Amino acid sequence: MLLKVENLDKHFGGDVPLHILRDINLELAEREFLAMIGPSGAGKTTLLNIISTLDAPTGGRVLIKNVDVHRLDQHALNRFRNRRLGFVFQDDLLLPHLTALENVALPARISRRSTRQASRRAEELLEQVGLNDRMKHKPGQLSGGQRQRVNLARALVNEPALLLADEPTARLDQATSQGIVQLLGELNEQLGVTILMVTHERELTNCAGRVVEFLDGRIVSDRSTDPGRRTCTKPLDT
């Protein structure tokens, strides 16, 4: 099992403790695409932040590739994040003075790949997300959807075990949002990328193989989707 969340709790202290997550148990196998859905404040983003190690649980544990991630020291944790996890946030967080190619290659350079290796990998990914003609463009010269595709390529450059996407379409219009989620589905189906995505828009779960629903800090539904009804069948550009 790629990911195991065991008996996870998150609360804040005080006279009346505020429970954000209550006894969460969740597993994710390699090559799965799981969408977590629920209203604002349901706890889904908090869970994603704990899985991504950006926040710590009050109780329970998170195992990724059999590593208890919240027991790692800071140096080991930084290395684990860089090499095992890919992040796609609401905002693209691209460096404005770097080209698309340079932004995508940056995590590979941080992990000590050579400039040539990092650039070659970045070029491959930008082609796969449909930006082979935008590699030399800087973020200010790209549309919102194009910047999010660069962000996605950057998240994949170190071939992470798990791609974590937190509301990746929140800043995009409906048509562009569907395109980004379809691209995630294509990467999952055709390249085997394991994806955990948070969204509050039910219509954006149409590419996921599983949908987990949150309400008041608990999982209230965990279901597999019908493969015949998924809409992620367009082949990737190579």
- Domain residue ranges of the chain, discontinuous segments joined by +: 3-92+160-229
pLDDT, position 229: 60
Q: For domain 3-92+160-229, is the CATH number 3.40.50.300?
A: yes
Residues of the chain with confidence (pLDDT) below 70: 228-238
pLDDT, position 234: 44
Q: CA torsion angle for 132, 32, 81, 27 (degrees, to 10)?
A: 170
Q: Comparing C-alpha atoms, which of 210, 202, 203, 187 is closest to residue 33?
A: 210
pLDDT, position 235: 40
- For residue 88, what are the β-bridge partners? 165
Taking phi over 0 as left and psi of -120 to 50 as alpha, with beta for the rest, 55 belongs to beta
Q: How far apart are CA 31 and CA 98, in angstroms?
A: 32
pLDDT, position 238: 36
pLDDT, position 22: 92
pLDDT, position 5: 97
Give per-residue pLDDT as tens, 207-237: 899 999 999 999 999 999 877 666 664 444 4
CB neighbours of residue 221 within 10 Å: 11
Amino acid identity of residue 86, one-letter, is G
How many H-runs (helices) and E-runs (strands) does the chain carry?
Answer: 6, 10
Please give the model's pTM, rounded to 2 decimal places. Answer: 0.90
Give per-residue pLDDT as tens, 89-120: 888 889 999 999 999 999 999 988 999 999 99
The sign one gets for the Cα dihedral 112, 65, 180, 172 is: negative
